[in-house]
Structure 1
Amino acid sequence: MNYTDKKISDKRAIAILAKNGIQVDDEEAVIILEFLYLVSKNLSKNKEEKNVGILKEKSNFRKSS
């Protein structure tokens, strides 16, 4: 996976994890970041789908004449 808009570098991820007592190397940090970006991407899709559902419900709402 290649995310062009990554906001966290691999080195930064290693530092953040180390502060919390988790020791990882560069390869493991890349895997963790890819997983988190994938989860974030899917969460965004779910929120968009939910919003579309709400809009559809409202658009079919009984209109007064």
Structure 2
Amino acid sequence: MNFIDKNVSVEQAIILLAKNGIQVSEKEAKIILELLYLVLKSYNKPKEKKY
């Protein structure tokens, strides 16, 4: 899965999670970031108007 505008690197995610007591590998951090980008993508979809 490729997102053009990835603003958070895997290394930044690992550091941020570690600051909050969560230790993850690079593979796990990539999965977490992909999930967050998917949530963001679905959240930003315009809602359909029901008539």
Common fold, TM-score beyond 0.5? Answer: yes
**Structure 2, gaps ≥5 residues long:** none
Q: TM-score if structure 1 supplies the norm length?
A: 0.72
1:26-45 residue pairs with structure 2 within 5 A?
26-45=26-45
**Structure 1, gaps ≥5 residues long:** 58-65
Q: Relative contact order, CA 8 A, sep 6+: which one is greater?
A: 2
2:20 alignment counterpart: 20
Give the partner amino acid of 1:17: L
2:11 alignment counterpart: 11
Structure whose alpha-carbon radius of gyration is higher = 1
Aligned length: 51
Which structure features the higher share of helix residues?
1
